[in-house]
Copies of this chain bind each other. A is one copy, B any other.
Amino acid sequence: MDRVEVTLGVDIGGTNTVFSFIDAAGNCYEDGRISTRGSEPAGRLLERLHGAVTTASEKLPPHFHLMGVGIGAPNVNYYKGTVEYPPNLDWEVVPLKQMAEERFKLPVAMTNDANAAAMGEKVYGAATQMTDFIVITLGTGLGSGIIIDGKLVYGADGKAGELGHWTAIPGGRLCGCGKQGCLETIASATGICRTVRLYLEEEMKEVPSLMRDLDLECLTSKDVAEAAQKGDNVALEAFRYTGEILGMKLADAITFSSPEAIFLFGGLVKSKNLIFDPARKYMEAFLPPSFRGNVKLLPSGLQDRNIAVMGAGALILDQLRGA
């Protein structure tokens, strides 16, 4: 039987570390999941990961050959191959790429999860024919991966592509990064919930809303989407505002790098037109006229897949192909 080359995609999260074997067509095999256990050293995680991967690989058909390992992780310095002071993990500066190479005896590539997502879009998603595009992940925060001329943008120090920390509202909401008014304090699953709480408790105090019956501390973006779908005015205004601020900053991204498309990924994207319509409208309005009507705002082609794991696999595949 013909040899099938696969990569291992790994996504290290604060709680769980998930992995999958991926072939060149993007088919995933033998998905696995272990606890990250952030209080333990990184070497211990790699040891447990290697054990779980070895067990899983024994179930692969014998003509499958593992070529390399791609890792998506928080706070990666791409050039150094290190993970540096990751939130939710008690590591400091860990040379994780080299440690993984030694553990797996295979080529390893590592980047942050939003960069991996962009690479996943390029190799397995909706951007296989594009050389210039941006992927925005709307989750707890807002992550971004930027592809220019077919390559991920890392910049001089490996930290490029942090659009979640673009200033959207000078002096605005406090962000987890320590500064105020970052885009992700508004345009993210967490951000839209902050907006709704503000509306219900202050700015739209008198407006009836289905969400007043919910425990606002536990409010999710799914709750907001469900209310909006029922015509709830507070929820609809929260989506409009989120789209306005997101669209305004996407326009800035377009005048910077002139991408062919911007892809959105994540929970908020499941709300479909609730987020796409206002985002698209304000994106166009905040563009100079000569740039209007030119850039596609689309859902990720991997919206229902594990983009972080597939992206990590795509990262090492892209590197092996380029080598």
- A positions within 8 Å CB-CB of B: 130-133, 146, 148-149, 151, 153-163, 165-167, 170, 175, 177-179, 182, 248, 251-253, 255-260, 285-291, 294
Neighbouring B residues of A285 by C-beta, 8 Å: 179
A287 to B252, CA, bound (A): 16
CB distance from A218 to the nearest CB of B (A): 28
A170's contact among B146, B248, B253, by CB below 8 Å, is which?
Answer: B248
A251 to B182, CA, bound (A): 12
A146-B256, A155-B257 given as contacts; is B290 within 8 A of A177 (CB)?
yes
Copy total for this chain: 2
A175 to B287, CA, bound (A): 12
Scoring A154, A167, A175, A255 by chain B CB atoms within 10 A of each residue's CB, the highest score goes to: A255
Are A289 and B177 in contact, CB atoms less than 8 angstroms apart? Answer: yes
Can you name 20 A-B pairs with beta carbons within 8 Å? A130-B156, A132-B155, A148-B153, A153-B256, A153-B258, A156-B258, A159-B258, A160-B257, A161-B258, A163-B255, A166-B252, A166-B256, A167-B286, A175-B288, A177-B289, A177-B290, A179-B285, A179-B286, A179-B288, A256-B256
A286 to B130, CA, bound (A): 32
Neighbouring B residues of A260 by C-beta, 8 Å: 156-157
With contacts A131-B156, A155-B258 known, what are 19 further pairs, Cβ within 8 A?
Answer: A132-B155, A148-B155, A149-B153, A154-B258, A157-B260, A158-B258, A159-B258, A162-B291, A165-B291, A167-B252, A167-B286, A170-B248, A175-B288, A178-B289, A179-B287, A179-B289, A182-B288, A256-B256, A256-B257
CB distance from A77 to the nearest CB of B (A): 11
Are B157 and A256 in contact, CB atoms less than 8 angstroms apart? Answer: no
Neighbouring B residues of A248 by C-beta, 8 Å: 167, 170
A153 to B149, CA, bound (A): 8
Beta-carbon nearest neighbor of A134 in chain B: B256
A49 to B221, CA, bound (A): 62
A149 to B255, CA, bound (A): 19
A162's contact among B133, B165, B255, by CB below 8 Å, is which?
Answer: B255
A166-B252, A286-B179 given as contacts; is B259 within 8 A of A159 (CB)?
no
Beta-carbon nearest neighbor of A157 in chain B: B258
A261 to B154, CA, bound (A): 14
Are A159 and B256 in contact, CB atoms less than 8 angstroms apart? Answer: no
Are B259 and A156 in contact, CB atoms less than 8 angstroms apart? Answer: yes
Neighbouring B residues of A177 by C-beta, 8 Å: 288-290
